[in-house]
Structure 1
Amino acid sequence: MYTAGLCTLFSLLMSSLVSGLPVRVVNGGADLRDENGARRRGITLPMKGRAVVKRNVEELLVGSIGLGDFADVVYTVAIQIGNTTTAVNLDTGSSDLWVMSTSCQTSVCRQSNATAFSVATFQSTEANVNLTFGDATTGTFAAGPIGLDNVTLAGLSLPNQPFAAVDNTDNTAVLNGGAGIIGLGFPAESTIQNEVVAQKFNNPSTTDDFISNINTYGPFVSRLVASGVIDQPLFAITLQRDTIDVSGSGKITIGELPAGVDNSSITWVPVRLYDPAEGGLDPPTFASNESYPLRWEVPIENVYLDGKQLANSTIPPNGVPSSFVSALIDSGNSLIRGPQDVVNNILSTVSPPTLPCASAHNLTYQIGGRLFPVDPRDFIAQAENGNASTCVASSVVSTDPPSVGTLFSWSLGDPFLKSNMVVFYYGNLTHPSVDPPRIGFRSMVPTNASALLDEAVSVASQDHGNFESTVNVAPTSSEVFEITVTSTATTSAPSHSMPPIDRTSSQNSSASVTKPHLFRSCFSIVAPVVYLSFLLVF
């Protein structure tokens, strides 16, 4: 009895120490910063725990885990597929899960140091897939058979999750800390779900088949949402900064807002819905008036550079009428991509072709009536090693104009996400009008960001002219909480200030979720890699 009591006490103490955030290590004891800009030194362990909230009847889940970061180029998260634990790139710009298998012998697979998927537990669906990523100038592919296996992310597990065991790819995602990609986008953009549903039903399948099987064959987090087992149909991402001025904490929280974040501090904006004429899904017969989201895309009102509003692009879209300007929020994009004429205006203003590293510029996006800047520390990059005085604005590049199926003008990647906490709310996946999807934004840029850039330049000048840079490996420890709620909860009316919790019957299903223990003794890490690709988009 006494032994059991001690073990229980030990488990409670340990569960308060392990939060799934990465251990922050910087060579030589270099300074670290918290999210408010205060400096700290050495190794830090999160010391924050949360009690299980008890309400009434229904048990729902929330999971969280820290992120890996390879020099701010790739952000990875640990995942278990079958018997294989590896890291994959976290990508809000795509919808499919794929991982290189031990059968992949392409150049990038042979160079990869990530753990490849072992096909021992792979259940083939007899379907194959060829996934494409990037734009016209940075396109890559990943191809292979589609199978089913048990998948665990952030301590949340689903059986029979569809994914691609890639045996042929040129995607550099496998070279920078990950073995593939987990897409967190909407089902409508899931090629894997489409292929599996077509294989199981009619080829080609109907929209009715596709929408009705999100809970069975949809993307991982979409299945969690459709199954109704997480507390709220959302996930939140914060990204750490591992270059210029090492600071911040990278984390994904699935099922509720991160601990300590109040909804009143978040600006909510509706996600763009696509009609069939714009490249969207044909509505199913059981929801004939619905329009569906394709990706995490929101309207933006204006763009500012150093407080001056920039003119909108005059480049016409391809094959679609001009409407409002929108932006894709894409964690799989290591840059900010925009219209060629607007980007040229930005670069010619601040960087012809270089700029002083200590010159703080503010690229700001007006979204939902509020301003969300890119931190000046995330706007620049060192022009050459050993020179902390001369930089380039290499984080901003041009991209394709809007076209059918891709109506966004901007793709706001990691520089934007390092500067802002972003919350992705799915709403109702089968009937979006009941509970529309939206994205929430909260600026993380400290008021003294310009001074922090000056200090980082000063520190680099004293360190042989080189800025701070480090690598965080993807931790595998995670937090999982069971939250008990009343079984008589009703759907709230849609609101731009507070995302409702939608537990309507249209999303309920028989899909099961494995409930992990609150504390999981898992301290292994995914080995870091030594290869870097600077212009990366998935």
Structure 2
Amino acid sequence: MGNMSFRVALDTGSSDFWVVSSACTSSACSSVPRYQLAYQSSTFQSVNGNSSLFNVSFLDSTTASGFIARETMLLNNLTVPQQAFGLVNSSNVTLSDEISGILGLGFPRLSTIANTVVNATPVFASMAQQGTLDYPLFGLSLKRNTTGSLTFGAIDASAVTNRSNIEWIDVVPFAPFNGTNGTTATYLQWAVELAQIYVNGSLVTPVPTYPIAQSNHSLALLDVGTSGIYGPYQDVSRIFSQIAGSRLVSVSDTVGQWAMPCDASETITLNFGGGNFTLQPTDYLLGPTAGDPDYCLAWPAALPPSSDGVDWQLGTPFLETVYSIFSLGIDTKEAPMVGLYALRNSTAPVQSPSVVSAYFSSASATIDTELPNYLLPTPTYTTPPYVFNTSVTAPPGLVVSSGLATSTYSPVLDVASVNATALPTLEPSPTLFTFIITYSGSVSTSVSTASQASITLGEPPGWTSGAGAIRVPLRVVFFSVCALLLGLTRL
């Protein structure tokens, strides 16, 4: 971008692309590569004289702010001309691993930039609306401790060996916000209906926060930018009531955290209306606590009710167990869908306590947590008013006329006859530079798998800003998904 290369964190829970600029001198920015304003890139285009402000905030109360600009963006050999993005000049968002910002992969309606500037469609939607991709989707493989992939326009054939086994789930649209003039539902988030939860085969029926507004369906957001699994207290407390010895051990900033015996062998299964997706203990256990190594913190954690009605956030612990496909849909022809392909055989045996123990022993780390010596009560919260217009219907699978991919695409994911075998696939290049991440407590160690020439992140070739050089292999666009760094390959 602007003859500069950056690593950015992927986020399916937001829609904006932003990077920190050289004008940001806070401690949060100074240690990462920054977009060099002094370089005066020939492809940079100001928006309203840099007076269109960009502001973003996160659940942990951190913020980033700056202005909106346009720049030509290169994703390996894909070009997105004059992409609107945020240049951040003030931030207290913690960035690590030379990550300079965030690439949001959500719907245009969720975009701060698209709602501020005309013709400022987010990156993924822009490629789909321009017809740049073979099909308007992207796929994510987040394998633990090994190479993963991000693909635009096609499915990673090395991860999905049988496309007929992909579970396709309708994305849920949302009605207009209260107080606005909209009369039809549109797509906002990668949210789907969560039908059932099982703990060792025992049903825990999800209880939605807004049963009338949502026709008694719980909603779950598939969010690669979330490092855990979160649900409402009314569901999470009942899940752990099915696991012997588990108890609520912390309520910090309204987040409820449970712990359970590390030698547990229970499975947690999620059902979205079709097939089951099962989490083994090593999928949902965080690790032993320092106060009592026989007890492990566990997902899901609990959150108070959210006014958008999205009760569940399924982050990387869940997404590491599946290959996930996010199909944007096609204007007037096809609704958005999420495809999930289980990476573990459904008949795989339940992990034994010895397997779980060996897994955590190999990590050689504990979580710095002291367990209370008394039982904590499950907190209760006042439900906020629902933010959407309940007089407007918003059925899953709604085909809309705008905001999706260009209608020049021919649909293959029609609800009546999904033809997943017609979706394009790709094989990752054997010379693709990737990172393998090993987990050592809270420390991640990256190991390259291919030798490449190098570049300096955040600086054009042959140009020196005086900042310390951060050199990485050339010819690769890097993305970071929580602790896992992914190489991007051609579609």
Please give the range of the TM-score, normalised by the shorter of the 2 chains: 0.5 to 0.7
Shift of 1:330: 0.4
Shift of 1:148: 0.8
The within-5 A match list for 1:168-179 is 168-172=90-94, 174-175=95-96, 177-179=98-100
- Select 1:455's aligned residue among 355, 362, 373: 355
Report the CA distance shift for 1:237/1:492 in structure 2 as closer, same or farther (over 3 A). closer
- Select 1:272's aligned residue among 172, 176, 180: 172
Report the CA distance shift for 1:154/1:413 in structure 2 as closer, same or farther (over 3 A). farther
Alpha-carbon separation, structure 2, partners of 1:279 and 1:152 = 39
Report the CA distance shift for 1:250/1:453 in structure 2 as closer, same or farther (over 3 A). farther
Alpha-carbon separation, structure 2, partners of 1:190 and 1:219 = 7
Shift of 1:399: 2.4
Tell me which amino acid in the other structure corresponds to 1:270. Answer: D
In the alignment, structure 1 residue 379 sits paired with structure 2 residue 379: no
- Select 1:337's aligned residue among 230, 246, 269: 230
- Select 1:95's aligned residue among 15, 37, 40: 15
Report the CA distance shift for 1:118/1:316 in structure 2 as closer, same or farther (over 3 A). same
- The equivalent of 2:55 in structure 1 is 130
Alpha-carbon separation, structure 2, partners of 1:257 and 1:280 = 38
**Structure ranking higher in helix proportion:** 1
Tell me which amino acid in the other structure corresponds to 2:69. Answer: G
Instruction: Provide the secondary structure at the position in 1 that maps to 2:266.
Output: coil
Give a deviation string over 1:15-73, Cα, whole Å, max 9, x none. Answer: xxxxxxxxxxxxxxxxxxxxxxxxxxxxxxxxxxxxxxxxxxxxxxxxxxxxxxxxxxx
Report the CA distance shift for 1:501/1:220 in structure 2 as closer, same or farther (over 3 A). farther
- The equivalent of 2:67 in structure 1 is 145
- Select 1:441's aligned residue among 327, 335, 340: 340
Tell me which amino acid in the other structure corresponds to 1:233. Answer: P
Report the CA distance shift for 1:466/1:133 in structure 2 as closer, same or farther (over 3 A). closer
Alpha-carbon separation, structure 2, partners of 1:382 and 1:426 = 36
Question: For the aligned residues, what is the CA RMSD?
Answer: 3.5
In the alignment, structure 1 residue 325 sits paired with structure 2 residue 229: no
Shift of 1:281: 8.6
Tell me which amino acid in the other structure corresponds to 1:182. Answer: L
Shift of 1:82: 1.4
- The equivalent of 1:292 in structure 2 is 186
Alpha-carbon separation, structure 1, partners of 2:179 and 2:147 = 37
CA contact (8 A) 1:124 1:145 kept: no
Instruction: Provide the secondary structure at the position in 1 that maps to 2:29.
Output: helix
Shift of 1:180: 1.1
- The equivalent of 1:10 in structure 2 is none
- Select 1:306's aligned residue among 177, 193, 200: 200
- The equivalent of 2:29 in structure 1 is 109
- The equivalent of 1:495 in structure 2 is 415
Alpha-carbon separation, structure 2, partners of 1:90 and 1:296 = 14
Give a deviation string over 1:472-506, Cα, whole Å, max 9, x none. Answer: xxxxxxxxxxxxxxxx985557236336989xxxx
Instruction: Provide the secondary structure at the position in 2 that maps to 1:273.
Output: coil
The within-5 A match list for 1:150-165 is 150-165=72-87
Shift of 1:129: 1.2
Shift of 1:153: 2.3
Instruction: Provide the secondary structure at the position in 2 that maps to 1:191.
Output: coil
The within-5 A match list for 1:70-85 is 81-85=1-5
What is the TM-score normalised by the length of structure 2? 0.67
Q: How many residues align?
A: 373
Percent of aligned positions that are identical: 31
- The equivalent of 1:370 in structure 2 is 275
Give a deviation string over 1:147-171, Cα, whole Å, max 9, x none. Answer: 1111122432211111101111222
Report the CA distance shift for 1:363/1:490 in structure 2 as closer, same or farther (over 3 A). closer
Report the CA distance shift for 1:362/1:222 in structure 2 as closer, same or farther (over 3 A). same
Any stretches of 5+ residues in structure 1 without a counterpart? Answer: 1-80, 198-212, 284-289, 468-487, 503-517, 529-533
Report the CA distance shift for 1:180/1:380 in structure 2 as closer, same or farther (over 3 A). same
Alpha-carbon separation, structure 2, partners of 1:348 and 1:222 = 42
Tell me which amino acid in the other structure corresponds to 2:227. Answer: S
Tell me which amino acid in the other structure corresponds to 1:191. Answer: T
In the alignment, structure 1 residue 192 sits paired with structure 2 residue 192: no
Shift of 1:141: 2.0
Alpha-carbon separation, structure 2, partners of 1:441 and 1:227 = 26
Greater RCO structure (CA 8 Å; 6+ sep): 1
CA contact (8 A) 1:237 1:421 kept: yes
Shift of 1:361: 2.8
Tell me which amino acid in the other structure corresponds to 1:273. Answer: P
Alpha-carbon separation, structure 1, partners of 2:129 and 2:224 = 23
Report the CA distance shift for 1:222/1:523 in structure 2 as closer, same or farther (over 3 A). farther
CA contact (8 A) 1:280 1:294 kept: no
Tell me which amino acid in the other structure corresponds to 2:285. Answer: I
Alpha-carbon separation, structure 2, partners of 1:331 and 1:407 = 19
CA contact (8 A) 1:278 1:320 kept: no
Shift of 1:522: 5.3
Tell me which amino acid in the other structure corresponds to 2:303. Answer: T
Shift of 1:401: 2.1
Alpha-carbon separation, structure 2, partners of 1:182 and 1:323 = 33
CA contact (8 A) 1:240 1:418 kept: yes
Give a deviation string over 1:292-312, Cα, whole Å, max 9, x none. Answer: 210111111111222111143
The within-5 A match list for 1:16-31 is none
The within-5 A match list for 1:375-454 is 375-384=280-289, 389-393=294-298, 395-403=299-307, 406-428=308-330, 431=331, 433-446=332-345, 447-448=347-348, 450-451=350-351, 454=354
Alpha-carbon separation, structure 2, partners of 1:254 and 1:367 = 24
In the alignment, structure 1 residue 218 sits paired with structure 2 residue 130: no
Tell me which amino acid in the other structure corresponds to 1:236. Answer: G
In the alignment, structure 1 residue 86 sits paired with structure 2 residue 6: yes
Give a deviation string over 1:84-139, Cα, whole Å, max 9, x none. Answer: 212111100100001111111233223x3x311222324221311111233xxx33
